[in-house]
Chains A and B, each alone.
Chain A
């Protein structure tokens, strides 16, 4: 037997957990190898010290306390018990992913029937709001405000950009409404 093999089986040897044949081989090796004999003695001393650590008696009131807890737990209906919090971050991540994919689908998917996606409606709504906002200015402000030519040019530029976007992304000619 080699020393590394002896060392690997040393704990099981000291615990009498080796098959008889292997146990005998270990005994033969220990009798002939001083280093392994020393290693075995040291480990044996340590195991004995650990095994002799004092044992404690459970406190006398432990049953009463445990019994009380059992009764309390039994009284709480299952659906009122707190969930296992370790699953909360996982559930939140799954929910966030589902929400992300669902919103992507709803906003950008154009189905076979040619239904206009929600993104288009939103952009159209924004465009009409921009036009509408000019006409619903409070009268008092309209009287004090003067629409300059520059204001109208800027508004027209914004609408042109939106039309271009709709045409490029969705193939919709916003000026004709088709």
Chain B
């Protein structure tokens, strides 16, 4: 089968593959960059939201990350996928920003967790909301590096191989870091609340 570089997206519209779009971007095509942006903006926005803890910072950080990606796209060498590349820029940018703010004594405002309503009774929904608030607070109290690995694995659902590319470390290191971060998160949650109650 000939690879035309074009696939159908979920709404049935013609959509180019990332590699083809990146080639066009490297030739200076801004509309190709807009397509890439629209495909990946939710991923980047969610990572920055979890890393920074509020939507205002997430919006600013997402813009900065894509500006950086646009400036560097000429150097993209197609050895990794665009999503791995943009995740790496996003995580590094957030960690740098958080470090900078800590150094300057600036605090990062933490919003209330956004919860989803999918329980049948108000009582069950209230318990679920409480759990999600606790998990949100616990994730945000982790160190930046532990938080980033939990976000990439448990929220974004990246494989260990993908995380090793994003973090530029070995699979063995990813395995131990995920386990350490989860153990820390579990400890915080156990101290905070009775998480294991049945709904």
Contacts and interface: CB of A to CB of B under 8 A. Distances in A.
Interface of A: 8-12, 15, 17, 42-43, 45-47, 49-51, 53-59, 62-63, 65-67, 69-70, 73
Given A42-B186, A57-B42, A66 B67 contact: yes
B94 interface: no
14 contacts: A8-B176, A10-B179, A12-B160, A12-B179, A15-B160, A17-B159, A43-B186, A46-B182, A50-B155, A51-B155, A55-B42, A58-B42, A62-B63, A66-B67
A17 B160 contact: yes
Interface in B65-113: 66-67, 70-71, 113
Contacts of A15: 153, 160, 178
A12 B164 CA distance: 14
A interface: dominant SS: helix
Nearest to B37: A63
Given A43-B186, A56-B49, A57-B42, A67 B157 contact: no
B131 A49 contact: yes
B113 A53 contact: yes
Contacts of A65: 59, 63
A95 B141 CA distance: 40
Closest 7 CB pairs of A and B: A58-B45, A11-B179, A54-B116, A58-B41, A50-B154, A66-B63, A17-B160
A93 B167 CA distance: 32
B132 interface: yes
B161 to A, nearest CB: 9
User: Which of A8, A10, A45, A58 counts the most chain B CB atoms within 10 A?
Assistant: A58
Interface in B32-51: 34, 37-38, 41-42, 44-46, 49
A45 B189 CA distance: 12
B55 interface: yes
B170 interface: no
B148 interface: no
Contact of A62 (B59, B70, B116): B59
Given A55-B46, A62-B59, A17 B175 contact: yes
A50 B186 contact: no
A28 to B, nearest CB: 20
Contacts of B46: 55-56
Nearest to A72: B67
Given A46-B189, A50-B150, A63 B67 contact: no
B135 interface: yes
A165 to B, nearest CB: 48
